[in-house]
Amino acid sequence: MAMNEKRVAIVTGGSRGIGAAIVKRLAKDGLHVVAVARNADKLAEVVAAVVAAGGSAEVAVCDIADPKAFGDLIDGLADKHGRLDVLVNNAGITKDDLVLRMTDEAFDTVIATNLKSAFVATRAAARPMMRLKGAIGGRIINISSVSGVVGNAGQANYAASKAGLIGLSKSVAKELAKKNITCNVVAPGFIATDMTQVLPDQIKDTVKGLIPLQRFGQAEEIAGVVSFLASADASYVTGQVICVDGGMVM
Ligand code: NAI
């Protein structure tokens, strides 16, 4: 098949929240965006909104915690489009508990979904990214969390997965720089999405008191930083962790 003329991006967790905002933003920036998640109906809604706005996007239903299925998906997409320019590992889950009570299952599932999936995707994406001919090389952007930077009581599994993403990203940045592939991390603070909506009001108020900008962030404010990292303007930025958190961690 002929090579897609647009730069091609894969965004995991594209069905809602931060991932949906990233899908919409990268499509607005002129990329063809593949939105990956488990929920086909919600994904289709996001892609329909992109197309209605004049953008280009497609749906890919996959459980990213299944390494074979996810690796094969990325191989297939790179073949289908003849290129792969941007990978955004955004999908993530929480299974919070105190460490004394945390089950093996809660630990392993969070690591498999949040961390191992990013390794599997990076391994599959590296080769097609190495073959890119344009001035803008490959871009890998991993969505971590301030929990991975400073830790968080009740989130040993989640914080370990998010800190792991930072070590993974810095290693990948060092390995792939000579191939004109950059790898950076965006670490959101508290962003208003389904993931944080479930927090009790009292916790939300306490958290706001810890944020210099005194509010939760919007998904679009994460998407804007991802857009920058995916753009030509970020060509000399690699191995960095950018906290987008209203100043909570500094
Ligand atoms: P969300 O819960 O609203 O959406 C998560 C997305 O990941 C959904 O599209 C879901 O379908 C997908 N997903 C989950 N497990 C999957 C699997 N096994 N296979 C395929 N897709 C899967 O989450 P939200 O709030 O949009 O967060 C996105 C990312 O940002 C996550 O990695 C999260 O850890 C991170 N983050 C979010 C913060 C927040 O305050 N909302 C703060 C810091 C980090």
User: Ligand 1 centroid to 7 CA: how many Å?
Assistant: 24
Q: What is the domain count for the chain? A: 1
120 assigned to some structural domain: yes
What value does the mean pLDDT take over residues 86-94?
Answer: 98
Measured from the CB, is residue 91 less than 6 Å from ligand 1?
Answer: yes
Q: pLDDT per residue over 111-142, tens digit each?
A: 999 999 999 999 999 999 999 998 899 999 99
Alpha carbon distance 87, 170 (integer Å): 15
Range of the domain at 111: 8-244
In a domain, 250, yes or no: no
Residue 216: φ, ψ to 5°: -75, 155
CA distance 3 to 156: 43
Average pLDDT, integer, range 76-85: 98
Check which CATH number belongs to the domain holding 163 and give it. 3.40.50.720
- 219 found inside a domain: yes
Is there an atom of ligand 1 within 6 Å of 11 CB? no
Cβ atoms 20, 41 nearer than 8 A: no
**CA 86/CA 83 separation, integer angstroms:** 10
Ligand 1 centre and the CA of 34: distance in Å?
16
The confidence score (pLDDT) of residue 75 equals 98
Answer yes or no: is 130 within a domain: yes
Does some domain include residue 141? yes
pLDDT at 2: 75
52's tokens: 């209605």
- Give the three-state DSSP class for 212: coil
Band of the pLDDT at 1, cuts 50, 70, 90? low
C-alpha 134 to ligand 1 mean position (Å):
31
The residues, any chain, with a CB within 8 Å of residue 74's CB and separated by 6 or more, are 10, 84, 87, 121, 124, 125
List pLDDT tens digits, range 127-183.
999 999 988 999 999 999 999 999 999 999 999 999 999 999 999 999 999 999 999
Residue 17 in contact with ligand 1 by CB distance below 6 A: yes
Q: What is the distance between the alpha carbons of residues 211 and 43, in angstroms, rounded to a whole number?
A: 32
What integer pLDDT is reported at residue 135 of this predicted model? 85
The verdict on residue 228 lying in a domain is yes
Tell me the C-alpha to C-alpha distance, in Å, between residue 227 and each of 21, 52, 222.
Answer: 10, 20, 9
Distance CA(195)–CA(200), nearest Å, equals: 12
* CB of 195 closer than 6 angstroms to any ligand 1 atom: yes
Q: Is residue 118 part of a domain?
A: yes
Specify if 169 maps to a domain.
Answer: yes
